[in-house]
Structure 1
Amino acid sequence: MTRDPSPIPAQGRPVPRDGQPGLLEAGRLAELATDLRPLLEQTARAGTTTTWAVIRKRLTALMSLHRDDESVLLWLVDDDRDQKEPLPSALVTVGDRQMHPRFPTIAEQLGVPAGHSSTQQRSTWNYEVLKAHQYWRHRH
């Protein structure tokens, strides 16, 4: 059963800010999530993390993705997982392997308590990254 993520408003999509690419339809985002999931699984098998810049180089369809759509895409990838699997979105980082700022919200929306303090959120994120690396290490 698919939950309704808050990044996708029920009554249409928000208007993008000036200079931002346009937002994509939910169906197109679902297609892109299907393309992104194997890349995140490969990242997990390699025991690493990735950034949106690297993802865009590997999946050129994401070159002009709106920032809000990035979050929706990560939510869709996570929502499609088996409940015993870790959150693949944890592998998408910013800067020098730092937790993506929207990870706590995505995790909470999917029923993974991330906590309220930044320390709790980083701890949850670190644990999800570790679980992802261990889970996909020997899967093909």
Structure 2
Amino acid sequence: MKQNLLDHRLAQLSRIPFRAKFHLREPERAFVDARGMEVVRRHAVELIDSRLAPARPRKDGSQTPWGGHPVFRAQHATATCCRTCLRINHGIAKGHELTATERSYVVDIICRWIEIDQGSAPKGTRPPAPPSLF
């Protein structure tokens, strides 16, 4: 059930042109292939804990690089790159330290996006394509 909710939210985010343009680049794909999702998830936890979870993150709004690690690319694709994007797109308010539940949600949506973009999501579990506007 949780995966269905994540997939539904990812499908909604994929309809935002800015978010839809993000995909893993070859070095980031190679990172996932070489280290696996368990390591990527551990890195996601560490990065979210240090860069996004504080009530007032250092350099909020510019703390997430555009690439270099699959988690960074995923953060931009999933609107979990800064507290403003988190508020606007996920309804998680600014000004408080992220709760354990909020941190878990952020890590889960990042990792799910990476699995899907990497092509490692089990068949039949990919989110539906957004409807065509034409």
Quickly name the TM-score band, shorter chain normalised.
Answer: 0.3 to 0.5
TM-score (norm 2): 0.34
Higher relative contact order (CA 8 A, sep 6+): 2
Structure that is richer in strand per residue: 1
Structure that is richer in helix per residue: 2
TM-score (norm 1): 0.33
